[in-house]
Amino acid sequence: MKAGLFSLACISLLRFAASQPQHHIHHHHAKRAQDVVTDVVTQVDNQTFEFEDVIVYVDDAGEPVSTTTVYKNQVQPTAALGTYSNPPAIPAPAPAPASSSPVIAPAASSQPALSPSPVPQPTQSMAPAQSRSPSSSGGSSSSGPGFSSGISYTPYNADNSCKSTSQVAQDFSKISGYGLVRLYGSDCNQVANVIAATKGSVSLFIGIFDINSIQSEVQTISQAINGDWSQVNTVSVGNELVDSGKASASQVVAAVGTARSALKSAGYNGPVVTVDTMNAMKNNPSLCTASDFCAINCHAFFDGNTLPSGAGDFVKGWTQQVSQAAGGKTVVVTESGWPTQGDTNNKAVPSQENQDTAIASLKASFSSNLVLFNAFDDMWKQPGAFNAEKFWGILGTSPG
Protein backbone atom coordinates (compact mmCIF):
# COMPACT_ATOMS: atom_id res chain seq x y z
CA MET A 1 0.00 0.00 0.00
CA LYS A 2 1.32 3.45 -0.84
CA ALA A 3 0.71 6.15 1.85
CA GLY A 4 -0.17 9.76 0.92
CA LEU A 5 0.12 12.65 3.44
CA PHE A 6 -2.53 15.35 3.43
CA SER A 7 -2.32 18.17 6.05
CA LEU A 8 -5.55 19.92 6.85
CA ALA A 9 -3.92 23.32 6.54
CA CYS A 10 -7.18 25.22 6.36
CA ILE A 11 -8.22 23.99 9.82
CA SER A 12 -4.85 24.99 11.28
CA LEU A 13 -4.95 28.43 9.69
CA LEU A 14 -8.47 29.12 10.94
CA ARG A 15 -7.60 28.10 14.48
CA PHE A 16 -4.39 30.09 14.45
CA ALA A 17 -6.35 33.16 13.38
CA ALA A 18 -8.77 32.65 16.30
CA SER A 19 -5.80 32.70 18.66
CA GLN A 20 -4.65 36.26 17.87
CA PRO A 21 -4.75 38.76 20.80
CA GLN A 22 -7.99 40.62 21.55
CA HIS A 23 -7.63 43.79 23.63
CA HIS A 24 -9.90 44.52 26.61
CA ILE A 25 -10.27 48.18 27.46
CA HIS A 26 -11.54 49.12 30.90
CA HIS A 27 -12.09 52.47 32.55
CA HIS A 28 -12.28 53.40 36.20
CA HIS A 29 -13.22 56.55 38.02
CA ALA A 30 -11.49 57.39 41.29
CA LYS A 31 -13.84 57.45 44.23
CA ARG A 32 -14.03 60.08 46.92
CA ALA A 33 -11.72 62.53 45.16
CA GLN A 34 -12.41 66.00 43.86
CA ASP A 35 -10.87 65.21 40.49
CA VAL A 36 -12.23 62.42 38.34
CA VAL A 37 -9.39 60.22 37.16
CA THR A 38 -9.82 57.84 34.27
CA ASP A 39 -7.29 55.09 33.67
CA VAL A 40 -7.18 52.72 30.74
CA VAL A 41 -5.53 49.42 31.39
CA THR A 42 -4.80 46.87 28.71
CA GLN A 43 -3.03 43.61 29.32
CA VAL A 44 -2.70 40.37 27.41
CA ASP A 45 -1.34 37.16 28.91
CA ASN A 46 -0.54 33.97 27.04
CA GLN A 47 -1.87 30.47 27.52
CA THR A 48 -0.74 27.39 25.61
CA PHE A 49 -3.28 25.16 23.87
CA GLU A 50 -3.03 22.39 21.28
CA PHE A 51 -4.30 22.13 17.73
CA GLU A 52 -4.09 19.15 15.49
CA ASP A 53 -2.83 18.16 12.02
CA VAL A 54 -4.58 15.12 10.53
CA ILE A 55 -2.51 12.71 8.39
CA VAL A 56 -4.66 10.67 5.94
CA TYR A 57 -3.30 7.40 4.44
CA VAL A 58 -4.70 6.35 1.04
CA ASP A 59 -4.36 3.27 -1.17
CA ASP A 60 -3.17 3.14 -4.78
CA ALA A 61 -6.59 4.23 -5.97
CA GLY A 62 -6.49 7.35 -3.80
CA GLU A 63 -9.14 6.10 -1.36
CA PRO A 64 -8.52 6.95 2.35
CA VAL A 65 -7.91 3.89 4.51
CA SER A 66 -6.76 5.38 7.89
CA THR A 67 -5.89 8.64 9.67
CA THR A 68 -3.49 9.79 12.38
CA THR A 69 -3.81 13.01 14.45
CA VAL A 70 -0.65 14.91 15.40
CA TYR A 71 -1.00 17.67 18.09
CA LYS A 72 1.08 20.84 18.05
CA ASN A 73 1.34 23.71 20.51
CA GLN A 74 -0.02 27.15 19.84
CA VAL A 75 -0.38 30.24 22.07
CA GLN A 76 -3.77 31.68 23.03
CA PRO A 77 -4.12 35.12 24.68
CA THR A 78 -6.28 35.37 27.78
CA ALA A 79 -7.33 38.31 29.88
CA ALA A 80 -5.27 38.51 33.10
CA LEU A 81 -7.23 38.73 36.34
CA GLY A 82 -6.64 41.49 38.81
CA THR A 83 -5.21 44.10 36.45
CA TYR A 84 -8.34 45.95 35.45
CA SER A 85 -9.98 48.78 37.27
CA ASN A 86 -13.58 48.33 36.26
CA PRO A 87 -16.06 48.56 39.16
CA PRO A 88 -17.23 45.07 40.15
CA ALA A 89 -20.70 43.76 39.45
CA ILE A 90 -22.83 43.67 42.58
CA PRO A 91 -22.61 40.08 43.86
CA ALA A 92 -25.66 37.86 44.42
CA PRO A 93 -28.06 37.60 46.11
CA ALA A 94 -28.93 41.35 45.90
CA PRO A 95 -28.25 42.54 42.34
CA ALA A 96 -27.84 46.25 41.69
CA PRO A 97 -27.75 48.24 38.46
CA ALA A 98 -24.67 47.62 36.36
CA SER A 99 -21.77 50.08 36.48
CA SER A 100 -21.63 52.87 33.95
CA SER A 101 -18.01 52.06 33.15
CA PRO A 102 -17.90 50.74 29.57
CA VAL A 103 -16.36 47.37 28.87
CA ILE A 104 -15.44 46.40 25.32
CA ALA A 105 -15.84 42.65 25.04
CA PRO A 106 -13.79 40.49 22.65
CA ALA A 107 -15.40 39.39 19.42
CA ALA A 108 -16.91 35.93 19.57
CA SER A 109 -14.80 33.20 18.02
CA SER A 110 -16.15 30.69 15.58
CA GLN A 111 -14.39 28.08 17.70
CA PRO A 112 -15.88 28.46 21.20
CA ALA A 113 -13.29 26.19 22.78
CA LEU A 114 -10.53 28.53 21.63
CA SER A 115 -12.08 31.89 22.63
CA PRO A 116 -10.28 33.98 25.29
CA SER A 117 -11.00 32.86 28.84
CA PRO A 118 -13.45 35.19 30.65
CA VAL A 119 -12.36 37.09 33.74
CA PRO A 120 -13.89 35.32 36.78
CA GLN A 121 -16.29 37.45 38.81
CA PRO A 122 -16.13 37.42 42.62
CA THR A 123 -18.66 35.37 44.54
CA GLN A 124 -19.57 35.28 48.19
CA SER A 125 -17.45 32.17 48.65
CA MET A 126 -14.36 34.18 47.62
CA ALA A 127 -14.63 36.63 50.52
CA PRO A 128 -11.47 36.67 52.67
CA ALA A 129 -11.73 34.94 56.01
CA GLN A 130 -11.92 37.36 58.91
CA SER A 131 -8.97 36.85 61.22
CA ARG A 132 -7.46 38.57 64.22
CA SER A 133 -3.98 37.69 63.01
CA PRO A 134 -2.22 39.77 60.36
CA SER A 135 -0.84 38.30 57.18
CA SER A 136 2.52 36.61 57.49
CA SER A 137 3.98 38.87 54.82
CA GLY A 138 4.15 41.76 57.26
CA GLY A 139 5.89 39.79 59.97
CA SER A 140 3.89 41.43 62.76
CA SER A 141 1.75 39.92 65.48
CA SER A 142 -1.20 41.66 67.10
CA SER A 143 -4.87 41.52 67.97
CA GLY A 144 -5.82 43.38 64.78
CA PRO A 145 -7.67 43.76 62.63
CA GLY A 146 -10.66 41.70 63.83
CA PHE A 147 -12.60 44.55 65.48
CA SER A 148 -16.37 44.19 65.67
CA SER A 149 -17.27 47.80 64.82
CA GLY A 150 -15.44 51.02 64.09
CA ILE A 151 -15.99 54.69 63.31
CA SER A 152 -13.67 57.44 62.09
CA TYR A 153 -13.11 60.73 63.92
CA THR A 154 -11.41 64.06 63.11
CA PRO A 155 -10.58 66.66 65.84
CA TYR A 156 -10.94 69.94 63.94
CA ASN A 157 -13.20 72.96 64.30
CA ALA A 158 -14.90 74.61 61.32
CA ASP A 159 -12.07 77.18 61.16
CA ASN A 160 -9.51 74.36 60.91
CA SER A 161 -8.24 74.92 64.45
CA CYS A 162 -7.64 72.00 66.80
CA LYS A 163 -10.36 70.92 69.18
CA SER A 164 -9.48 71.15 72.86
CA THR A 165 -9.38 68.23 75.28
CA SER A 166 -12.82 69.22 76.61
CA GLN A 167 -14.30 69.50 73.08
CA VAL A 168 -13.05 66.01 72.23
CA ALA A 169 -14.57 64.73 75.47
CA GLN A 170 -17.90 66.34 74.50
CA ASP A 171 -17.78 64.63 71.11
CA PHE A 172 -17.15 61.22 72.62
CA SER A 173 -19.99 61.66 75.08
CA LYS A 174 -22.19 61.21 71.98
CA ILE A 175 -20.24 58.30 70.47
CA SER A 176 -21.09 54.84 71.76
CA GLY A 177 -21.34 51.26 70.56
CA TYR A 178 -18.03 51.18 68.69
CA GLY A 179 -15.04 49.04 69.61
CA LEU A 180 -12.54 50.95 67.46
CA VAL A 181 -11.91 54.58 66.49
CA ARG A 182 -9.92 55.51 63.40
CA LEU A 183 -7.73 58.63 63.59
CA TYR A 184 -5.99 60.04 60.52
CA GLY A 185 -3.00 61.72 62.17
CA SER A 186 -1.20 62.56 65.37
CA ASP A 187 -1.58 66.36 65.33
CA CYS A 188 -3.75 68.41 67.72
CA ASN A 189 -2.84 65.98 70.53
CA GLN A 190 -5.70 63.89 69.20
CA VAL A 191 -4.35 60.50 70.26
CA ALA A 192 -3.97 61.49 73.92
CA ASN A 193 -7.28 63.39 73.88
CA VAL A 194 -9.23 60.44 72.49
CA ILE A 195 -7.64 58.04 75.00
CA ALA A 196 -8.62 60.44 77.80
CA ALA A 197 -12.16 60.86 76.46
CA THR A 198 -12.76 57.13 76.08
CA LYS A 199 -10.83 56.17 79.22
CA GLY A 200 -9.06 53.53 77.16
CA SER A 201 -12.33 51.66 76.43
CA VAL A 202 -11.77 51.49 72.64
CA SER A 203 -8.96 50.34 70.37
CA LEU A 204 -7.29 52.88 68.14
CA PHE A 205 -6.54 52.75 64.42
CA ILE A 206 -3.91 55.51 64.36
CA GLY A 207 -2.68 57.24 61.23
CA ILE A 208 0.74 58.53 60.26
CA PHE A 209 -0.48 61.24 57.91
CA ASP A 210 2.79 62.63 56.49
CA ILE A 211 5.09 59.94 55.06
CA ASN A 212 7.90 62.52 55.05
CA SER A 213 7.72 62.86 58.85
CA ILE A 214 7.51 59.24 59.93
CA GLN A 215 10.08 59.34 62.73
CA SER A 216 8.58 62.43 64.39
CA GLU A 217 5.01 61.10 64.11
CA VAL A 218 5.99 57.76 65.61
CA GLN A 219 7.61 59.63 68.50
CA THR A 220 4.47 61.76 68.97
CA ILE A 221 2.24 58.68 69.01
CA SER A 222 4.51 56.81 71.42
CA GLN A 223 4.47 59.74 73.84
CA ALA A 224 0.68 60.13 73.54
CA ILE A 225 0.01 56.51 74.50
CA ASN A 226 2.72 56.63 77.17
CA GLY A 227 4.36 53.57 75.64
CA ASP A 228 1.23 51.42 76.09
CA TRP A 229 0.79 49.94 72.61
CA SER A 230 -1.93 47.53 73.81
CA GLN A 231 -4.45 50.30 73.04
CA VAL A 232 -3.43 50.38 69.37
CA ASN A 233 -5.09 47.99 66.94
CA THR A 234 -3.37 49.18 63.74
CA VAL A 235 -1.11 51.97 62.51
CA SER A 236 -1.74 53.28 58.98
CA VAL A 237 0.83 55.07 56.82
CA GLY A 238 -0.76 57.64 54.51
CA ASN A 239 -4.35 57.93 53.31
CA GLU A 240 -5.26 57.69 49.59
CA LEU A 241 -1.81 58.88 48.52
CA VAL A 242 -1.66 56.80 45.33
CA ASP A 243 -5.23 57.54 44.27
CA SER A 244 -4.70 61.28 44.78
CA GLY A 245 -1.38 61.25 42.92
CA LYS A 246 0.51 62.59 45.93
CA ALA A 247 2.87 59.59 45.95
CA SER A 248 3.68 56.57 43.80
CA ALA A 249 3.02 53.02 44.91
CA SER A 250 6.76 52.40 45.33
CA GLN A 251 7.11 55.50 47.53
CA VAL A 252 4.26 54.37 49.74
CA VAL A 253 5.65 50.82 49.98
CA ALA A 254 9.00 52.24 51.09
CA ALA A 255 7.25 54.45 53.66
CA VAL A 256 5.40 51.45 55.12
CA GLY A 257 8.73 49.66 55.58
CA THR A 258 10.29 52.70 57.23
CA ALA A 259 7.32 53.12 59.55
CA ARG A 260 7.29 49.45 60.51
CA SER A 261 10.94 49.62 61.55
CA ALA A 262 10.44 52.86 63.51
CA LEU A 263 7.35 51.49 65.25
CA LYS A 264 9.11 48.26 66.16
CA SER A 265 11.95 50.26 67.70
CA ALA A 266 9.33 52.14 69.73
CA GLY A 267 7.86 48.87 71.02
CA TYR A 268 4.95 48.30 68.63
CA ASN A 269 4.61 44.93 66.89
CA GLY A 270 1.04 45.15 65.58
CA PRO A 271 -0.29 45.58 62.03
CA VAL A 272 1.11 48.34 59.83
CA VAL A 273 -0.78 49.18 56.64
CA THR A 274 -1.34 51.87 54.07
CA VAL A 275 -4.87 52.98 53.24
CA ASP A 276 -6.07 53.82 49.73
CA THR A 277 -9.18 53.63 47.57
CA MET A 278 -10.41 50.28 46.31
CA ASN A 279 -9.33 51.18 42.76
CA ALA A 280 -5.80 52.10 43.82
CA MET A 281 -5.46 48.94 45.90
CA LYS A 282 -6.71 46.63 43.16
CA ASN A 283 -4.50 48.24 40.53
CA ASN A 284 -1.43 48.31 42.82
CA PRO A 285 -1.31 45.00 44.71
CA SER A 286 2.12 45.96 46.08
CA LEU A 287 0.27 48.25 48.51
CA CYS A 288 -1.45 45.17 49.94
CA THR A 289 1.73 43.10 49.86
CA ALA A 290 3.60 45.71 51.90
CA SER A 291 0.74 45.90 54.43
CA ASP A 292 -0.34 43.38 57.04
CA PHE A 293 -3.81 43.47 55.49
CA CYS A 294 -5.42 45.38 52.61
CA ALA A 295 -7.04 48.58 53.90
CA ILE A 296 -9.51 50.27 51.53
CA ASN A 297 -11.77 53.32 51.53
CA CYS A 298 -14.89 52.39 49.57
CA HIS A 299 -18.06 54.46 49.18
CA ALA A 300 -21.05 53.23 47.19
CA PHE A 301 -22.29 56.83 46.81
CA PHE A 302 -19.54 57.65 44.32
CA ASP A 303 -20.52 54.74 42.08
CA GLY A 304 -23.61 56.63 40.98
CA ASN A 305 -25.46 53.45 40.03
CA THR A 306 -25.88 51.95 43.50
CA LEU A 307 -28.87 52.69 45.69
CA PRO A 308 -28.27 53.08 49.45
CA SER A 309 -29.92 49.69 50.04
CA GLY A 310 -27.16 48.11 47.93
CA ALA A 311 -24.24 49.83 49.67
CA GLY A 312 -23.27 46.73 51.64
CA ASP A 313 -23.21 44.45 48.60
CA PHE A 314 -21.28 47.05 46.59
CA VAL A 315 -18.55 47.35 49.21
CA LYS A 316 -18.46 43.59 49.84
CA GLY A 317 -17.96 43.02 46.12
CA TRP A 318 -14.97 45.34 46.14
CA THR A 319 -13.37 43.64 49.15
CA GLN A 320 -13.55 40.39 47.22
CA GLN A 321 -12.00 41.90 44.11
CA VAL A 322 -9.15 43.52 46.05
CA SER A 323 -8.51 40.33 48.01
CA GLN A 324 -8.41 38.32 44.79
CA ALA A 325 -5.97 40.77 43.20
CA ALA A 326 -3.77 40.49 46.31
CA GLY A 327 -3.68 36.70 46.35
CA GLY A 328 -6.44 36.17 48.91
CA LYS A 329 -5.22 38.63 51.55
CA THR A 330 -7.65 39.88 54.19
CA VAL A 331 -9.34 43.19 53.32
CA VAL A 332 -10.51 45.71 55.92
CA VAL A 333 -12.84 48.56 54.96
CA THR A 334 -11.38 51.67 56.60
CA GLU A 335 -14.02 54.09 55.32
CA SER A 336 -17.58 53.64 54.10
CA GLY A 337 -20.70 55.72 54.50
CA TRP A 338 -23.23 57.96 52.76
CA PRO A 339 -23.70 61.76 52.79
CA THR A 340 -26.79 63.49 54.14
CA GLN A 341 -26.43 66.63 51.99
CA GLY A 342 -24.97 67.54 48.61
CA ASP A 343 -25.70 67.08 44.94
CA THR A 344 -27.27 63.96 43.45
CA ASN A 345 -24.86 61.55 41.75
CA ASN A 346 -27.11 59.82 39.22
CA LYS A 347 -29.02 57.25 41.31
CA ALA A 348 -27.14 58.13 44.52
CA VAL A 349 -29.05 60.82 46.41
CA PRO A 350 -27.72 62.46 49.60
CA SER A 351 -30.25 62.51 52.45
CA GLN A 352 -30.60 61.50 56.07
CA GLU A 353 -32.97 58.69 55.14
CA ASN A 354 -30.59 57.33 52.52
CA GLN A 355 -27.66 57.51 54.93
CA ASP A 356 -29.64 55.48 57.47
CA THR A 357 -30.46 52.90 54.78
CA ALA A 358 -26.86 52.69 53.57
CA ILE A 359 -25.44 52.29 57.08
CA ALA A 360 -27.94 49.51 57.80
CA SER A 361 -26.94 47.79 54.55
CA LEU A 362 -23.23 48.04 55.42
CA LYS A 363 -23.78 46.63 58.90
CA ALA A 364 -25.79 43.75 57.44
CA SER A 365 -22.93 42.88 55.06
CA PHE A 366 -20.08 43.24 57.57
CA SER A 367 -20.04 41.76 61.05
CA SER A 368 -16.45 42.96 61.56
CA ASN A 369 -13.57 44.87 59.97
CA LEU A 370 -15.68 47.84 58.85
CA VAL A 371 -14.99 51.47 59.81
CA LEU A 372 -18.00 53.71 59.24
CA PHE A 373 -17.36 57.21 57.95
CA ASN A 374 -17.65 59.60 59.79
CA ALA A 375 -18.63 60.32 63.41
CA PHE A 376 -19.60 63.97 62.78
CA ASP A 377 -19.91 66.35 59.85
CA ASP A 378 -16.53 67.81 58.82
CA MET A 379 -17.32 71.50 58.48
CA TRP A 380 -13.61 72.31 58.17
CA LYS A 381 -13.43 70.66 54.73
CA GLN A 382 -13.98 72.13 51.28
CA PRO A 383 -17.30 71.28 49.54
CA GLY A 384 -15.56 68.57 47.48
CA ALA A 385 -17.16 66.15 45.04
CA PHE A 386 -20.92 66.67 44.64
CA ASN A 387 -20.70 69.37 47.33
CA ALA A 388 -21.06 66.54 49.85
CA GLU A 389 -17.63 66.35 51.50
CA LYS A 390 -18.71 68.10 54.70
CA PHE A 391 -21.84 66.06 55.32
CA TRP A 392 -20.96 62.44 56.05
CA GLY A 393 -21.43 62.63 59.82
CA ILE A 394 -23.46 59.69 61.13
CA LEU A 395 -24.15 61.65 64.33
CA GLY A 396 -24.71 64.95 62.53
CA THR A 397 -23.16 68.14 63.91
CA SER A 398 -20.41 67.84 66.50
CA PRO A 399 -21.44 68.98 70.00
CA GLY A 400 -17.86 69.98 70.81
pLDDT band at 72 (very low <50, low <70, confident <90, very high): very low
Whether the CB-CB separation of 371 and 334 falls below 8 Å is answered with: yes
pTM of the model: 0.67
Compute the average pLDDT of residues 216-238.
Answer: 97
- 3-state DSSP assignment of residue 55: strand
pLDDT band at 41 (very low <50, low <70, confident <90, very high): very low
- Asked whether the predicted pLDDT for residue 300 surpasses 80, the reply is yes
Task: Out of 50, 63, 217, 335, pick the active-site residue.
Answer: 335
**In terms of C-beta density within 10 A (0-12 exposed, 13-18 middle, 19 or more buried), how is residue 210 classed?**
middle
Alpha-carbon span 40 to 84, nearest angstrom: 8
Q: How high is the pLDDT of residue 97?
A: 36
**Per-residue model confidence as pLDDT tens digits over 328-370:** 999 999 999 999 999 999 999 999 999 999 999 999 999 999 9
For CA atoms 335, 341, 345, 348, the dihedral sign is positive
- Asked whether the predicted pLDDT for residue 159 surpasses 90, the reply is yes
Q: Catalytic residue at 63? A: no
Q: How high is the pLDDT of residue 147?
A: 87
**Per-residue model confidence as pLDDT tens digits over 314-335:** 999 999 999 999 999 999 999 9
Q: How high is the pLDDT of residue 148?
A: 86
| Peptide bond just before 193 cis, omega within 30 deg | no
Contacts of 54 (CB under 8 A, 6+ apart): 6, 7, 8, 11, 67, 68, 69, 70
Q: Is 113 left (phi over 0), alpha (psi -120 to 50) or beta?
A: alpha
b/e 107-140 (16+ beta carbons within 10 angstroms → b): eebeeeebbbeebeebeeeebbeeeebbbeebeb
**373 HSE (CA, 13 A, CB side):** 22
Between the CA of residue 233 and those of 122, 256, 323, 367, what are the distances in Å?
29, 16, 21, 17
Q: How high is the pLDDT of residue 68?
A: 45
